[in-house]
Amino acid sequence: MKRVIYRGTVIDPVSPKKPDIRKGAYVITEDGVILSVEDRQPVQTEGDTIVDFGENLIIPAFSDLHIHAPQFAERGIGMDCLLFEWLNRYTFPEEARFRERSYAETIYRQVIRELIRQGTLHLAAFTTIHYEASDLFFRLLEESGLYALAGKINMDRNSPDYYVEDTARSLADTERFVSEHLPGGRIGGTDRHYSGRVRPILIPRFAPTCSGELLHGLGRIGQRYKVGVHTHLVESREEAAWAKELFPGDGSDGAIYENAGLLGNGPSIFAHVIFPTETEERILRQYGAYAVHCPDATSNITAGIMPAARLLAGGFPLALGTDVGGGHFTGVYRQVARAVQISKMKEFYEPEEKRVAFFEAFYMATAGGGAVFGNAGRIAPGYRFDALVIRDMSDEGTQLSPEESLERFCYIGDDRDILARYADGKLLSYDTLS
């Protein structure tokens, strides 16, 4: 088989504390999978291709484990609102527009182009309650070459009259969606089949917008088809209190999902997890669930700050999310910087909580979130070559270390500093989806 060998400064997030940094290293790949990383140029065989990136950085592609794709047009708008005001004034009216397939296609194509442009090659995405628009997004993701978890949202109460589902219809549409989008399923009326790069997931918006009947019905679908769940968890004190009021027999936001049978069927992804109780922490640990830190969004809606350093120290799986449009920027690398920034604020006001170190945040954005998608998130043998090439951020007359160059990129870099994007070893272009 033909090999492709990439040379550059390799940064592999082995652990939250200690990355493996190798200058002038060679990443040897075959069929898009990393065979080895060598410090010396390997002996070439016939057909080998060497791609030399010089002093530039080779890092894992970013993973965004919480993005609201239909809120793309909202980013940077209404940021002076608090959560529920923002939802009612901006979000629900915008998501309701996705009943029109043409509008959904216009926005979703932009979303995917922007994700690739910003180096996000793995994502877990919310959509809307509309089957057709959600199906379209799933197909576009499959076409793009990205890895993703996507589904349709469920919400049958405590929502505007113009944007709410009938419970039975919600469950029927969801089961249809899951069954039709499993790996190997036929793509529409074509002879093509879903590759498994994009997989279905259940998305109850959050407990207060779902009846017990809906959640338990979703739990049965999850168990039947072995698909996971993606939702919000203890995002704000108001939301958590409201959930407990609506589900008095469960006693905790997290227990609502557990008792409905939604956990343990596949990946469990919980956005925010700002005020976890002992029950939430027990659930995260028991089910290996992912807690997704969304620094920009929680700052914008003033929900609070996740105790990320403490959860990391406790061994909980953590990842980063942009939470667009509650978050205002689609680049996960900026969330790396923001996670560090707001952790300092948390430590200042809550001295018992500690700050997040830069490489801890970088780990969350790469290996942490990438783990949801199989062998992704590292530059190491056995992992897919899902990678970015970041230019050396040194200024004229100065020379930054690889660590400093990566940190500077996360704080002040942008998509122009991403020189190449690879998924499964294939070079991606964000102009692919016209």
pLDDT value of residue 73: 96
Residue 248 confidence (pLDDT) above 80: yes
Distance, in Å, from the CA atom of 141 to the CA atom of 201, rounded to the nearest integer, reads: 14
pLDDT value of residue 301: 82
Distance, in Å, from the CA atom of 376 to the CA atom of 312, rounded to the nearest integer, reads: 19
Residue 93 confidence (pLDDT) above 80: yes
Residue 422 confidence (pLDDT) above 80: yes
Burial 247-276 (b: 16+ CB within 10 A, else e): beebebbbbbbbbbbbbbbbbbbbbbbbbb
Question: pLDDT-derived band of residue 8, with 50, 70 and 90 as boundaries?
Answer: very high
- Domains of the chain (ranges; CATH) run 3-60+377-427 (2.30.40.10), 62-373 (3.20.20.140)
Residue 152 · residue 174 · CB < 8 Å: yes
Question: pLDDT-derived band of residue 254, with 50, 70 and 90 as boundaries?
Answer: very high
- Convert the pLDDT of each residue in 95-145 to its tens digit: 999 999 999 999 999 999 999 999 999 999 999 999 999 999 999 999 999
Reduce the DSSP state of residue 433 to 3 states and report it. coil
Closest CA to 14 of 281, 333, 363: 363
Residue 379 confidence (pLDDT) above 80: yes
Question: pLDDT-derived band of residue 190, with 50, 70 and 90 as boundaries?
Answer: confident
- Per the confidence metrics, is the pTM higher than 0.85? yes
Residue 433 confidence (pLDDT) above 70: no
What is the overall mean pLDDT for the chain? 95
pLDDT value of residue 236: 86
User: Average pLDDT in the 223-227 region?
Assistant: 98
